[in-house]
Amino acid sequence: METQKVSTGYVFKGGPGSKTGYRHTFRKAFARAVEKAGLDPKAITPHVMRHTAITRLVKAGVDLPTVQRVSGHKTISMVLRYAHVDGLHVDNAVNHLGFGVTGSKLGAASG
């Protein structure tokens, strides 16, 4: 498979006359890329990818102000709407406090 070098650094670079260097509307190009990857373009959308990227950053321990800058959201509350954490992620966070999931140190901490 041949790879193309993208000189602009953008995945969906703009066409001739583009002032920004990237496409503002890339729905068709995105759908073609998803299909080329062997995925369903009805299930994999830019919006879904945004949720996935933000969730992965949060689960990787990236602080929320940094996630906000990466995602371009104006508020932390909007970042939180995109971040989907599960019970295991919450349990791991609690483990960092030294309490563990069983709560074995809770009595000592509440004294």
What string of pLDDT tens digits covers the 111 residues of the chain? Answer: 455 554 556 666 677 777 776 666 778 888 999 999 999 999 999 889 899 999 999 999 999 999 999 998 999 999 999 988 888 888 888 888 886 555 555 544 444
d(CA 68, CA 21): 23
Helix (H, G, I), strand (E, B) or coil at 13: strand
| Contact between 105 and 98 (Cβ < 8 Å) | yes
Please tell me the predicted confidence (pLDDT) of residue 110. Answer: 47
The residue written with tokens 């503002």 in the block is: 24
Alpha carbon dihedral 9, 11, 12, 13, in 10-degree steps, equals: 20
Instruction: Report the C-alpha gap between 74 and 66 in whole angstroms.
Output: 12
**How many CB atoms lie under 10 A from the CB of residue 2?**
3
In DSSP terms, 13 is beta-bridged to 22
pLDDT at residue number 12? 63
pTM score of the predicted model: 0.60
